[in-house]
Structure 1
Amino acid sequence: MGRMTQIAEALEAVKPTSADVLGDSVTFSPIRWKTGWPHHLRRVPPFRDDATASITRSEVFAFAADVVESGYAREQVIDFLGACFAYVAGQSNEVMQLQSFLRNKGNAAQLLSAVRGLEGASPIDAYSSLLATGLAPKPASAVAYFLAGEQSPGDASKPVIICSKRAAVAGLSSESAWSAAEYGEYLSALKSARDAYDPSLPLDAVEWAARKFAADQA
């Protein structure tokens, strides 16, 4: 099945809206994150000591807005990374992988530095610089996505989240490190499908539809 066809099928099946995207909710374990959060960062994200909680994209965007408003202050960046990674990992094994990544002082320092350099970067450059820190593609794309701010109808060039399910719907290999060039192909595929279906949709509504479509097919 062609790349366009499957995203088009996802859009027709899911009929996404901006409200769907912002309200998308993920369940995670705050206490699991707090107990595994690296001490060397000297700050723990402001999670309560609950066994389970949920976080929406809208809430993560609010943390990202705090980062931008603070001028990329360290404390706000760390709080944002906690929220972003909680949303990305949910209750999966990615939690341990991300905690392990952050526990490496070199990785954490590189990531904090890369985040501070994102302002004004293109989606592909932002993704590429985050990937260069050793961060996996899905969380790297999520950091770029949320820091770029809430998306507006018809946005031409904003980052979106990539993962194996989303990539497969977009016609890319589902098992890949997705280079910056492949990420560019992914964005182009989503944009082409969006423009054919409804140019007034924000790009992340297409990404969200692809993810939901893939999950519903599983």
Structure 2
Amino acid sequence: MTQIAEALETVKPTAQDALGDSVTFSPIRWKTGWPHHLRRVPPFRDDATASITRSEVFAFGEDVRESGFAREQIIDFLGACFAYVAGQSNQVMQMQAFLRNKGKASQLLAAVRKLDGVGAADAYGALVATGLPPKFASAVAYFLAGEQESGEASKPVIICSNRARLAGLSSDADWTAEEYGEYLAALALARDAYDSSLQLDAVEWALREFARRSE
């Protein structure tokens, strides 16, 4: 039994498990450190703590697509996406520093605008090429692609060291687009053996949950 199969049998994930996954973050921490040069602050309330679910981040991604990838909607989406991925970790400061670099922020906005209709591995590759860390790049691609349907294998999912390790990837960071494609293929293969109707991000969520329980 592969580790992905073991995670699926142990966690028994559902689509709603992934969509309802909630992360606690600090809206005021993000707002006070948000770069002025972007000329727009994500619509967070001035609260010390709040929670955000994957479903809510998907809604921001949908706003981006419906707006035709308008700048303001992209910025709001990035705020929600980064808040979900960083949570209350020190990655908040890392991503604020990334966005304060005008060149990198401009490259990221330009890359996001070109993602419509792009395949999962290529979308991930375009985002990491801006200097965005792999976990955040995969999350941007994942949430922009929209909620997943049963049995889909072509959409992006989030990657991190724990998820990649359980999927059999040898490296623990800086995955290439090709390696990211191998990660998606490994998840799809295990999913099809377990339940071919399951959403791929439910498999990814199961890996994260399995790793958390094993800590």
TM-score range, shorter chain: over 0.9
- The 3 A distance-change label for structure 1 pair 174 and 211 is farther
Return the letter of the residue paired with 1:74. R
Which residue among 46, 60, 74 is the counterpart of 2:71? 74
Which residue among 85, 92, 104 is the counterpart of 2:82? 85
Q: CA deviation at 1:176?
A: 1.9
Aligned to 1:151: 148
Q: Percent identity?
A: 78
Return the letter of the residue paired with 1:77. I
Contact 1:165–1:174 (8 Å) recurs in 2: no
Which residue among 103, 115, 118 is the counterpart of 2:115? 118
Counterpart CA distance in 1 for 2:90 and 2:161 is 15
Q: CA deviation at 1:174?
A: 5.5
Counterpart CA distance in 1 for 2:162 and 2:29 is 26
**Residues 129-144 of structure 1 mapped to structure 2, 5 A cutoff:** 129-144=126-141
Counterpart CA distance in 2 for 1:66 and 1:173 is 36
> Within the alignment, does 1:187 sit opposite 2:187 as a pair?
no
Secondary structure of 2:131 counterpart? coil
Aligned length: 215
Contact 2:31–2:44 (8 Å) recurs in 1: yes
**Residues 11-30 of structure 1 mapped to structure 2, 5 A cutoff:** 11-30=8-27
Secondary structure of 2:23 counterpart? strand
> Within the alignment, does 1:55 sit opposite 2:52 as a pair?
yes
> Within the alignment, does 1:216 sit opposite 2:210 as a pair?
no
Deviations 1:3-35 (A, max 9, x none): x61000000000000111100000000000000
Counterpart CA distance in 1 for 2:72 and 2:48 is 24
Counterpart CA distance in 2 for 1:203 and 1:60 is 17
Deviations 1:120-158 (A, max 9, x none): 100000000000000000000000000000000000200
Secondary structure of 2:68 counterpart? coil
- The 3 A distance-change label for structure 1 pair 174 and 14 is farther
> Within the alignment, does 1:101 sit opposite 2:98 as a pair?
yes
Q: CA deviation at 1:165?
A: 1.0
Deviations 1:56-110 (A, max 9, x none): 0000000000000000000000000000000000001110110000000000000
TM-score normalised by structure 1 residue count: 0.97
**Residues 40-51 of structure 1 mapped to structure 2, 5 A cutoff:** 40-51=37-48
Aligned to 1:201: 198
Moved runs in structure 1, 4+ residues, more than 4 A? Answer: none
Deviations 1:156-213 (A, max 9, x none): 2000000011111111135220111110110010000000000000100000000000
> Within the alignment, does 1:164 sit opposite 2:161 as a pair?
yes
Q: Which runs of 5+ in 1 are unaligned?
A: none
Counterpart CA distance in 2 for 1:214 and 1:52 is 25
Aligned to 1:34: 31
